[in-house]
Amino acid sequence: MSKITFLGAGSTVFAKNVLGDCMLTPALQGFELALYDIDLERLKDSENMLNNLKATTGSTCRIKSYTDRKEALRGAKYIVNAIQVGGYDPCTITDFEVPKKYGLRQTIGDTVGIGGIFRNLRTIPVMLDFARDIQEVCPDALFLNYTNPMAVLTNVMNTYGGVRTVGLCHSVQACVPHLFKSLGMDPSGVQWKIAGINHMAWLLEVTKDGVDLYPEIKRRAREKQKEKHDDMVRFELMFRFGYYVTESSEHNAEYHPYFIKKQYPELIEKYNIPLDEYPRRCVKQIEDWKRMRESLVNNVNLQHQRSNEYASYIFEAIETDVPFKIGGNVMNTGLITNLPKEACVEVPCLVDASGVTPTYVGDLPPQLAALNRTNINTQLLTIEAAITRKKEHIYHAAMLDPHTSAELSIDDIVALCDDLIEAHGDWLPKFH
């Protein structure tokens, strides 16, 4: 029996989407859906939910929970990763509250920036533990990573874990539909090309019947920008750098040095930037889960419609050899020629029976490559810190982060890193 293993299966809502999709996919019938999570209560919740779904969908997939990670992985053909190390309390709270003491504010803190750096440092050791198990019990498995920070973790699994890994993010799928909806444009029949790095990939081309739609997009965006809305940072970046970026304005506000600034507090209001957005979302998610748990976990009439998550479509394309196109995070094997070869990039990929094949992009417009490199610098030095366990590389990563370095002095950056290392305690490995 073929096997799909879900690491972090206690993410019940996400497990419903990904594994519910698999249950509705003809080519995946008969697969074992192996569930693993360190939170046994949440694991049981997901198992109950999926068994209810199995009954209502008539799927022949077999649901099985594991408390032994290696056994959950043994013989897996596909692995889905959706873990979060340290959770909201204590780790996300630490990522936000300690930098605030230095006057450093964040919105999401899960990709780059000081929050992203420390999220990586506590997650990478766990991912490398996964990699060791995979090498032993399912070395040929395809690993789909949904966990942030996407670029760094996908890079580490490929480069140091020796695991065939593709990173998947919703921002590529959502980019054009979201933009067109916000501007009152019809996305049907529109062709687009997106490439760059995760959370900072660029809408390089957007056409309909061969006509470039960018002039109309920019015209409508300039009108919309005259009033408050929730995408003001991305529009500003598009006006200044020429292209729209995939990930939301609240994310991009902290990837660049232009928007969250102590010296210019009026920018927060001007660009409608939601400081501390991620902690708010976490609290809401926890409250929402309490309310929806019963209707999701013990609902014997639970229904599911196939979502637009890439995972089941990737598995289906490999199983059936019917090609499917995705936006994937992969190593830069000459794909984007003016970004470092050590970087993980986000590019169009073709999926079929031979696996996931990334496509060649060539040079990005120089200003876009330059913006990507500012984030890649921090990503690569974070990896260096995680692999060598040298504290100096944590400092380097933070000193090169665009937002952190625009706000704090070198001494304060080092002191902040030391404070965060101490505050995280055993959630981090020991650095020297």
Distance of CA 324 to the CA centre of its chain: 20
List strand residue ranges (DSSP E) for 160-231, in order: 164-167, 190-197, 200-208, 211-212
CA distance 220 to 101: 40
Residue 159, token pair as written in the block: 């480069």
| Angle at the Cα of 411 from the Cα atoms of 409 and 417, rounded to 5 degrees | 100
Q: Which of 68, 80, 83, 69 is nearest to 141 (CA)?
A: 80
Residue count (the chain): 432
CA distance 402 to 400: 6
Exactly one of 170, 229, 251, 424 is catalytic; name it.
170
User: Between 391-400 and 410-424, two packed helices, what is the crossing angle to 10 degrees?
Assistant: 130
Q: Which of 408, 421, 409, 403 is nearest to 106 (CA)?
A: 403
CA distance 113 to 423: 17
| Residue at 368: amino acid letter | L
List strand residue ranges (DSSP E) for 94-158, in order: 142-145
Instruction: Return the DSSP state at 187.
Output: -
Q: Are 243 and 205 in contact (CB under 8 A)?
A: no
How many CB atoms are closer than 10 A to CB 13?
A: 13
End-to-end Cα distance, the chain:
46
Residue 126, token pair as written in the block: 């766990």
170 is catalytic: yes
Residue 199 annotated as binding?
A: yes
Residue 169 annotated as binding?
A: yes
Residue 414, token pair as written in the block: 């080092």
CA distance 255 to 269: 18
Indicate the annotated binding residues for Mn(2+).
Answer: 169, 199
Q: What is the set of active-site residues? A: 170
Indicate the annotated binding residues for substrate.
Answer: 148
Indicate the annotated binding residues.
Answer: 148, 169, 199
